[in-house]
Chains A and B, each alone.
Chain A
Amino acid sequence: MSTARRIADVITLPARTVGSQTATVASGAASQVRVWTANEVDDWGRDNGFVDRFWAASRLRWDTCVGGTEHVPKRTGALIVVNARRFALAPVFSALAIGAAVDRPVRFVGRPDIAPLGPLMQRLGALLAIEGELEGALRAGELVVLGANHELGNHRTGQIDHRLVGAAVAAKVRVLPAATLSVPTRRSARVEIGPPARLTRKRRGPLEELELADHLQVRINALLDELGGATTGTPLDWLPFNGLGGI
């Protein structure tokens, strides 16, 4: 064997080392992708493994405290209507937080029907904002979070789509108001679920869902007031604008 050949056997060129390390990293990444994508989806396309990972990652952004979980039914379906601050993704973090608190999959309304965002949100448990879709999920005993129209702050809730509330009326499930409180500059967020909304007067026609939507709006506003009103995450919160120590 020549001397050059023997030297070649013992010398590892840097390119070879880098190549080996790259291959190791690529192989590790590929195996990680395989693990992450090996989950199953449920009847509605929700991927529990993906939701768990997303929830773990989202806790870097939100530290959510959930109250009033005793109002959430253990097995049957229910519609949970929340207020939504603009850009706060309130239905998403509410669904994840409530799901973690009650240990049941919780879905939310409001995914686009276009790839890639639609299928991605479907993995998180999102439903299309169609009455038939929502009614089917509620009839199947699912918990679904519905966001009200966006508002600039947490002080008031926006209008609630009465047609979507009508899906819950048709499915004969509980409708729960819930207040969400979050600010852009802080991690802490809160979801407070109230007792089921019930109308004092029984209606036979579509007035029922209209009145129920209005009633829910009032109930969520009351819950928001109980939570101490809106916060901004800034020293402005300490100024006594409303006489109660908050704005």
Chain B
Amino acid sequence: MAGVRVLVSGMGGELGSRVASLLEDEPWVGSLEGIDIDPPRRRLRRTVFHRIVPGQHDRTVDTVTKFDPHIVVHIAVWEPHARAGTETARSLNDDAVTSILGAAAECRALESIVVRSGIEVYGRARGSVTRPSEVEPRNPTSDYGRMLAEIERTARAIGRRVGVSVDKLRLATVLGPHVPSALGRVLRMPAVPFSAVANPPFAVIHQHDAAEAFVRAAKMRLDEPLNIVAPGAITAYQAIRRGHRLPVPLVGPEWFVARGLTYLAGAPIPDHVMEMFHRGRLADNTRAREVLGFSPATTTSDVIDQLYRWPTVIHQPASADWEAVAS
């Protein structure tokens, strides 16, 4: 297995850039190309990047069919209120999955597709399993969960149609330096609301661990869903305490006001984060450990600690020396 052509969609994001960087170091990867709306966030030595907007189907099809990849790693997934509003995210997700995976289906060399999904697809309806494994049926109860379920459905349909394996990596909320995340933004606010009556546990995943899972999945060409979740769990209150933020306990109707205020403060709480604060979000990662031989290095508590260790932006006034140099 050498000289494999790998296409990474969503390479401009932090996760996509990290995946591309790891793939560059893999001996089995022959050539690597990427597509995204934004350029990669790190130096990539042997990757060819194409800046294409998700709606440009013709350009996407031309680029993908010309490259004729063996493996497509589809990371171009927009979480609501991470980089785009809910409606924009839905539109971008639809466009990206249809055009990129649709174009990949036209490639004769295609052997495997790895798709980014999330544990939001399991939903948190009453009576649902607290820590679902991959065998649990999908029953999304949030906008983001429904978007991810749609992405999985499209990928599976394409995979069956052209007879290639489709591996769906269901990630917990991805947190890490520079990763835009609605949850990360809310938790970093000076005062953070949480459900006083429920305060259920949730799990997250560090971006580096998520990227490693993508690389292993691409190498192994599996045909099944896998939960990618950091070990351990944490409650919202415990996360707030770890970050030395002011906890604001809420019990019910005042969440409406709190959501409005956080929206104005630049940290909107989309419904999947709201659901997580009230019903928790855990998943069983045993299967990923068995199949990929992969166990995330960073625990949920450590990811949260790192979330609070990221330095805030400090605006430095222009120095007189610089003006002197400029003149």
Contact = CB atoms under 8 A, between A and B. Distances in A.
Interface of A: 34, 37-45, 113-116, 118-119, 122, 127-128, 130, 132-133, 136-137, 139-140
A113 B126 contact: yes
A125 to B, nearest CB: 12
B238 A127 contact: no
Contact of B200 (A34, A122, A140): A122
Which of A39, A116, A119, A128 is packed against the most chain B CB atoms within 10 Å?
A119
Contact of A42 (B126, B199, B232, B241): B232
15 contacts: A39-B238, A40-B238, A45-B130, A113-B127, A115-B197, A116-B197, A116-B198, A118-B198, A122-B201, A136-B133, A136-B284, A137-B131, A139-B133, A140-B284, A140-B286
Contacts of B203: 43
Nearest to B200: A119
A136 B287 CA distance: 11
Given A44-B282, A45-B201, A45-B282, A37 B237 contact: yes
A132 B234 contact: no
B280 interface: yes
B235 to A, nearest CB: 6
B132 interface: yes
B199 A119 contact: yes
A220 B156 CA distance: 48
B131 A43 contact: yes
A41 B233 contact: yes
Contacts of A116: 197-198
Chain A contact surface mostly: loop
B130 A43 contact: no
B301 interface: yes
Interface in B209-250: 231-235, 237-238, 241
B232 A115 contact: no
Contacts of A127: 130
Interface residues of B, number: 30
Contact of A133 (B130, B201, B280): B130
B136 interface: yes
A43 to B, nearest CB: 6
A227 to B, nearest CB: 34
Nearest to A118: B198
Contacts of B284: 136, 140
B142 interface: no
Contact of B241 (A34, A43, A122, A132): A34
B282 A133 contact: no
A144 to B, nearest CB: 13
A106 B271 CA distance: 34
B195 interface: yes
A115 B201 CA distance: 13
B129 interface: yes
B241 A44 contact: no
A43 B227 CA distance: 14
Given A34-B241, A40-B301, A115-B197, A128 B234 contact: no
B131 A38 contact: no
Given A38-B238, A45-B233, A128 B127 contact: yes
Contacts of B241: 34, 37-38
Contact of A41 (B198, B201, B278): B201
A43 B232 contact: yes
B233 A43 contact: yes
A82 B278 CA distance: 32
Given A115-B195, A128-B130, A40 B237 contact: no
A186 B100 CA distance: 70
A160 B241 CA distance: 42
Contacts of A139: 133, 286
Given A42-B233, A130-B129, 7 more contacts: A34-B241, A43-B203, A44-B130, A45-B200, A119-B200, A119-B280, A139-B133
A134 to B, nearest CB: 9
A38 B242 CA distance: 8
B231 to A, nearest CB: 7
Contacts of A44: 130-131, 233, 282
Contacts of A118: 198
Nearest to A141: B286
Given A41-B234, A139-B286, A140-B284, A128 B129 contact: yes
Interface in B159-204: 195, 197-201, 203
A37 B236 CA distance: 11
Interface in B280-302: 280, 282, 284, 286, 301
A115 B234 CA distance: 17
Nearest to A38: B241
A49 B129 CA distance: 24
A22 B59 CA distance: 70
B233 A133 contact: no
Q: Which 9 A-B pairs give the minimum distances between C-beta atoms?
A: A115-B198, A45-B201, A116-B197, A115-B197, A132-B129, A41-B201, A133-B129, A119-B198, A41-B233
